[in-house]
Structure 1
Amino acid sequence: MASAKQIVAELGRPGPYQVLRGELALIGLPGVVFTPAAGELLPAVAFGHDWLNPASRYHGLLRHLASWGIVAAAPDTERGPFASHRRLANDLRTALDVVSSVRLGGTARGAAVSVDPRKLALAGHGMGAGAAVLAAAAPAHTTRVQAAGEPYWESGSEIAENRGHVQAVATIALSESRPSAQDAARAVHLPGMHVAFGKDLVAPPAAGAEPVAAAWAGPSVMRTVKKASHLGIVEGRHWSDLVLDGKADLGVLTTVKALLTGFLLHHLNGEKKYADVVDGAVKGTDVRVYRESSTV
């Protein structure tokens, strides 16, 4: 089996699939979706953006996932200063419902793409990472108004039956959410990969990813990219750069692309050759396994 270093080098490059782009707005949800040009019963991930940032800053990451055969959808909602983590979590679940229930794309030259509803994942950056945890912990049909202080999620067998077929969750530079992602993590029994950034002043690992990874109910691994700042994976310039610390870093983005791609291919497609990308040695990172099992 290839080492984690070899896997990261392979998966850091674009994959073999031609990529198409579409708009989630066509079905009433602002956002974007990237898909391989062709494929049946593909895996899919819904990706949540960071606070104040548009989904367009993650197009390179989403396109990369699609080039490896993963349908990647990103809602472009809740972008204001008082954005709701709860509503973004709902939008992430809606995005998964949409891509897994309709055929995507398709032209006179080729058939449309389909997603396997048993191969779904959630991921996000910063605020979007916290929303992904909430989305994984809460049943998709939960829309009632909660009493003050009541948790947003549920635990036990009922949650497992109602969360659809989400198989894995990945967080990147997670910032704490309201409701609490740390508390919600106790109800997530799925494999989780938590990527933290060592020089993150917005969501330091000790305050963001670490407590969530430790509270995670399922298999949980935290990897810290030592020289990365909070905005390491975004692209281009945006006015939010004046508010959030850090800057884009192509090296960090390439590493995260590889880690996320390998994690998703392993857990959604069952590609065991990428298993070591989760907890193996990768240059420039530290890794800590909080809870392991045969599915990590």
Structure 2
Amino acid sequence: MRTNPALRPPAVRNGKDAVGHLSAPGPHRVLRGDLGMVGIPGIVFAPEEGLGLPVVVFAHDWLQPADRYADLLRHLASWGFVTAAPSNHRGILPSHPAFAADLRTTLDVCAGVRLGDGRISVDGRRSALVGHGIGAGAALIAANGRARLAALVTIAAAQTHPDVIDSARALTVPALHIAAGKDTVAPAAGHADQIAATTSGPTWLRTLPKASHSGFLDGSHWSDLVLAGGPEAKTRRITRALVTGFLLRHLCDEDRVDVLVDGKVPGTVLADRV
């Protein structure tokens, strides 16, 4: 299903144009809600109205509250996606399988409940999981056996239990893996590279050479004292464009953003197709 022609992103000539267009807010007004009403702490963003919308469930990194990703979630909602992020499993030793189970539950809730006083609904066939750090690993675990999943994105994927490599072997949907070149928490050579090489479906690995593991976060949190680096505006800007373009392509069949999937994008390095 394509996006409404009136709301489609403009044609772009190159990666620089594409980042400029898709890192900026989309055409939709955005509503914010609370996942707590269904028993899972977390946040929801959605376009003001729309039926049969694509849905994206986001998994946070170790110790992080979901609000540190609100900028990305709100941005995706402005481009027509319903987005939700559980904010539990934030302890020192979180259960990754339980986190994955909550991601699946969140997908089911979004697909099964009308939002926005009935003006918003989700097409469960157009669903994606996105995660950062250990959240990326939890998203891979959650994707196993998820027949209706359409795409997956990992950002600076970190190790989890079960092993992320074992989880990646069963992945057959299109997957984008974003790695940070200055990541000292989950170095690309030990995590994203291996995950991308292991997945069975169409796979893209794109590295941001100047990004750190925490560069994808927004705002401040006490965990910044124990993690290397901090939020990076340029990293978040490029990531907004990459994730939006990839999800528009694979959840909305939007081919006008292909340069962000397959092309040259300033500030990134696209690995040879795995």
Place the TM-score, normalised by the shorter chain, in its bin.
over 0.9
The structure in which a higher percent of residues are helix is 2
Deviation at 1:4, TM superposition (A): 2.7
Out of 35, 57, 74, the position equivalent to 2:46 is: 35
% same residue: 50
Out of 106, 109, 113, the position equivalent to 2:120 is: 113
Distance 2:58 2:153 in 1: 9
In structure 1, the residue matched to 2:19 is: 8
Deviation at 1:21, TM superposition (A): 0.4
Out of 205, 222, 241, the position equivalent to 2:205 is: 222
Amino acid at match of 1:12: S
Amino acid at match of 1:127: I
In structure 2, the residue matched to 1:69 is: 80
Superposition RMSD in Å: 1.1
Distance 1:112 1:95 in 2: 19
In structure 2, the residue matched to 1:125 is: 132
1:23-74 deviation per Cα after TM superposition (whole angstroms, max 9, x unaligned):
1110111111100001110001100000000101011110000000011100
In structure 2, the residue matched to 1:146 is: none
Distance 1:73 1:289 in 2: 32
In structure 2, the residue matched to 1:25 is: 36
Out of 53, 59, 77, the position equivalent to 2:70 is: 59
Confirm or deny that 1:44 pairs with 2:55: yes
- Preserved contact between residue 214 and residue 290 of structure 1 (Cα < 8 Å): no
Detail structure 1 runs of 4+ shifted over 4 Å in the superposition: none
- Preserved contact between residue 42 and residue 114 of structure 1 (Cα < 8 Å): yes
Distance 2:44 2:147 in 1: 20
Amino acid at match of 1:212: I
Aligned residue for 2:173, secondary structure, equals coil
TM-score w.r.t. structure 2 length?
A: 0.94
In structure 2, the residue matched to 1:188 is: 171
Aligned residue for 2:207, secondary structure, equals strand
Amino acid at match of 1:80: G
Out of 249, 255, 266, the position equivalent to 1:283 is: 266
- Preserved contact between residue 186 and residue 216 of structure 1 (Cα < 8 Å): yes
Deviation at 1:89, TM superposition (A): 0.8
Out of 162, 167, 182, the position equivalent to 1:179 is: 162
In structure 1, the residue matched to 2:248 is: 265
Q: Which runs of 5+ in 1 are unaligned?
A: 140-162, 292-296
Deviation at 1:181, TM superposition (A): 1.0
Amino acid at match of 2:79: W
- Preserved contact between residue 50 and residue 128 of structure 1 (Cα < 8 Å): yes
